[in-house]
Amino acid sequence: YDRLTNGHTGKYLAEKLVECLTGYGIEKKVLAVTVDNADNNTTMLKEMHTLVKELRGPMARVRCF
């Protein structure tokens, strides 16, 4: 998969992550996503749910510590 070439907005990260998950055929099998507290991660999870309804959006967030 390609490197990230644009700014790390939540929408862009969601598109690229869903692209990667889809490439492996696991986009509907993700239980949780571990991310830090950056605001763009909340946006990313919401956008991922928009792109793949089976992804639970912010409910799938596991914060790193």
Cβ-contact 55, 40 below 8 angstroms: no
Average pLDDT, the chain: 93
Measure Cα distances from 65 to 7, 22, 36, 42, 47 in Å.
25, 28, 8, 16, 24
pTM for this entry: 0.88
Q: Kindly tell me if the per-residue pLDDT of 1 is higher than 70.
A: no
Q: How confident is the model at residue 18 (pLDDT cuts 50, 70, 90)?
A: very high
Cβ-contact 19, 25 below 8 angstroms: no
Q: Kindly tell me if the per-residue pLDDT of 23 is higher than 70.
A: yes
CA 59, 51, 23 angle in degrees (round to 5)? 105
Residue linked to tokens 């793949």: 52
Q: Kindly tell me if the per-residue pLDDT of 65 is higher than 90.
A: no
* Mean pLDDT within 32-60: 95
